[in-house]
Structure 1
């Protein structure tokens, strides 16, 4: 996990150094600037060493090619075996990107499995790309006749750049061939087809879940797990604990935060006890929230009310986790894959519309929840991993009929006229993994369960110097003011941010 900057046809090493220093929180282990002789390129990299910590420094140069990358390539060992181990000069997973490119395959990028953003340069061209759902960020801008790339918007702040925009998820930009989409989210299935073996579908989902968590734990450092006590993070933590214990390692480290006595702390404590993790708790107050707000807004690169609210507990959880590990697993993506949001209940009578909405919302995650997770954890120099967004798991989840994700059923699967159950098929897949009261409990938002909303009300009243409730408009105005105070070009940042529309529909 890292941050990087690349300048093409600009040729200013001092500028690259200034830009990378603005996002050095993404990689406190090493900062480096490099050029490629004979090519109009400057690259800078801030490293958080996770895989190949001894020799994985970047930028990576192989003869006439130079690379900077952010993220993790989880199948790098397989790629080494295919491409020939002797061709690799480091233990870094990122080197696999460069070696695949140099192999000359027409669809080489599709062989990368993981979360990543990168820019590589030859003497004649730049190639920049992003993982399927945009878990890792990548922005580009014009500087005169040249181009600049960076991991965060703040790298461009105050600079004479034009047309700052994100490279779309699942896309590759080539100065020779232009922009192309190399990955498209598979369309979700809708109705339960006649003859579908539901139990077999549930078993297959469980197997893919287990593989995804094991894959996303690959690292040369210890990987922990956020644990809010909700279904998604509890599934990830329970499976991760099995991976660690199965490999003869010490128990998984789990991390939960909230107000004293909050529902999340109690629920997470119960889950941790059930799975036997080494559990760590952090308690925050309304005063802590007030002090953290400027940092949250600055690093989030957004003033959206719902994003800021959910980013606050993420910040405290990241701070707690970073005291113990350099990487954590999270439950992001389960709601988009398995219909976990409250507004999804509006689609219960129309599985086709629900399947289409889930597919659409997966495509918006990069500038909503994934932006929050990336920016806030990286603000604390912590790598966050999202195993629910494993590519194989996405394929399987999208093949599961939406009618099995949101349906009116009892916990035992019998048809019922009772309440609608969201994420039904996911719950069925983990019935043996967690206590029944957790598996079938209704969802609560992270900011609600942790007590953030209550603490935030008090904090905002203090910031505004008022008594009584603070309206949503007043809250939004506070966040925008905090952002504007910290950026030279705040309109550029605000224009790039995603928002949650009515009923928390991501747009």
Structure 2
């Protein structure tokens, strides 16, 4: 996991260095800059060492020094790609990033169709720039234009230092300076297997998710798992415990007496993990809120609420590991949110779940990326493996919300009910901020932060923000104070409130 930056169209190492200085948290282990011999542009990299910690510093050069890559993320099929590529290329590192570059030397822009992973990368090829972002947008990338040059960076705060016209680099898309943007992936629009035997679907789901977790155990540094005590993180931890050699560290946070802390302890005892927990206090949240909003690059009420426990869990995990697995994506694939129950039509629910997965890139996935990287650890999301997404689209909605009484994620619970305590498998869905007690804590914290009258005046002052509550007005105020140039960042804030049913 790393941070990348670049200016293509002019030779501006200082501009790239300024952006890189804003990304140190994404890569505290090393940094590097590539300056094209043709003066066509500059690429920069901040490194968090995961694969080949000693030898994998970037930029990495191709067989010809005119080609170089900077990348963020992990390529999970690297072990399968490398042996074949080694027959024709001289690998200088054991880094998975080098495989991307050698694939590009052979296949050009078709490289993206050969990769299995989460990534955002940029390749310099003499006078040309090739950049791409993974299919779901797990890893971030932004771009802008200034004085005829293309500017890219991993985070909005970095690119806003060089450019006012900033946009999100779309997921499942590549860019070539000769041909512009091309979409290579969209979430598949598959028809559910209505007549499929649920037992067969349950078996396929278990096998597919286990494979997704196993491939994400690839690491040359310590690895652990978030464990909120909810279904999704508990399933991931259970699979990791089964396949990971050595002890497993798990991490949970909440207010004193929260449901999540108690449930996580139960799961940890059941799985025999080395468990760590942290109790959040209102005073600490108040102190850290500006930092949380700065790293998240959002003022959205729902995202900030869920970001608070994520921030503290990431901080805790960083004391022990550099790679963390999370349960992100399960709710969107298997109908985990309460509002899905209010969609009575199976076809409409199916479409809404597909849309939910397709819009994760600038909401929940942004939260996971920013708050793990704020503490220099790498978050991995097995539920959003492309095979899991494809299978999720094939499972009928009637197996996602089912039972008597109706319960969310029914088929996911059935697939793993033998691996966890029954009180965890059939526990009612609680959002991260609810189970951890963050909602109660915020009510106490924000009761005096901004009055209803102050919030109304603030909303009138910022009508373009469409602020929904006094709480969100307060977050917006903190947001505006966090950045020297907030406007480019504001233009890219993802909103849960913009997700129509």
Alignment partner of 1:72 is 2:74: yes
Structure 2 equivalent of residue 205 of structure 1: 205
Alignment partner of 1:450 is 2:436: yes
Alignment partner of 1:90 is 2:93: yes
SS in 1 for 2:165: strand
Contact 1:290 1:460 (C-alpha < 8 Å) held by counterparts:
no
Structure 1 equivalent of residue 396 of structure 2: 401
Whole-angstrom distance in 1 between the partners of 2:78 and 2:192: 35
Distance 1:465-1:499 versus aligned 2 partners, 3 A rule: closer
Q: Equivalences for 1:400-419 in 2 at 5 Å?
A: 400-407=395-402, 409=403, 418-419=404-405
Contact 1:127 1:172 (C-alpha < 8 Å) held by counterparts:
yes
Whole-angstrom distance in 2 between the partners of 1:324 and 1:106: 38
Contact 1:140 1:165 (C-alpha < 8 Å) held by counterparts:
yes
SS in 2 for 1:232: helix
Deviation for aligned residue 1:463: 3.8
1:205-260: per-residue Cα shift (whole Å, max 9, x none)? Answer: 1011111111111111111000000000000000000111xxxx322100000011
Q: Equivalences for 1:354-373 in 2 at 5 Å?
A: 354-373=349-368
Alignment partner of 1:23 is 2:23: yes
Alignment partner of 1:267 is 2:274: no
1:293-352: per-residue Cα shift (whole Å, max 9, x none)? Answer: 0001111101000000000000000000000001100000001111111111122x3111
Contact 1:191 1:351 (C-alpha < 8 Å) held by counterparts:
no
Deviation for aligned residue 1:188: 4.2
Alignment partner of 1:236 is 2:236: yes
Structure 1 equivalent of residue 464 of structure 2: none
TM-score (norm 2): 0.94
SS in 1 for 2:42: strand
Contact 1:157 1:487 (C-alpha < 8 Å) held by counterparts:
no
Bigger drift between 130-139 and 388-397 goes to 388-397
Aligned mate of 1:429, from 408, 415, 422:
415
Whole-angstrom distance in 1 between the partners of 2:415 and 2:493: 35
Aligned mate of 2:481, from 461, 482, 485:
485
Whole-angstrom distance in 1 between the partners of 2:289 and 2:190: 38
Structure 1 equivalent of residue 272 of structure 2: 276
Contact 1:190 1:354 (C-alpha < 8 Å) held by counterparts:
no
* Unpaired segments ≥5 residues, structure 1: 410-417
SS in 2 for 1:343: helix
Whole-angstrom distance in 1 between the partners of 2:193 and 2:96: 40
SS in 2 for 1:66: strand
Deviation for aligned residue 1:462: 4.9
Whole-angstrom distance in 2 between the partners of 1:153 and 1:106: 26
Contact 2:26 2:373 (C-alpha < 8 Å) held by counterparts:
yes
SS in 2 for 1:173: strand
Q: Equivalences for 1:102-121 in 2 at 5 Å?
A: 102-104=105-107, 107-121=110-124
Deviation for aligned residue 1:87: 2.9
Contact 1:212 1:390 (C-alpha < 8 Å) held by counterparts:
yes
Aligned mate of 1:473, from 460, 464, 469:
469
Deviation for aligned residue 1:491: 2.3
Contact 1:190 1:351 (C-alpha < 8 Å) held by counterparts:
no
Contact 1:290 1:456 (C-alpha < 8 Å) held by counterparts:
no
Deviation for aligned residue 1:156: 2.2
SS in 1 for 2:237: helix
Deviation for aligned residue 1:39: 4.1
Whole-angstrom distance in 2 between the partners of 1:483 and 1:330: 26
Whole-angstrom distance in 1 between the partners of 2:14 and 2:39: 17
The number of residue pairs the alignment matches comes to: 487
Whole-angstrom distance in 2 between the partners of 1:486 and 1:421: 41
Structure 2 equivalent of residue 391 of structure 1: 386
Aligned mate of 2:154, from 145, 151, 156:
151
Whole-angstrom distance in 2 between the partners of 1:454 and 1:162: 38
Whole-angstrom distance in 1 between the partners of 2:442 and 2:109: 51
CA RMSD of aligned residues (A): 1.9
Contact 1:188 1:401 (C-alpha < 8 Å) held by counterparts:
no
TM-score (norm 1): 0.93
Structure 2 equivalent of residue 318 of structure 1: 314
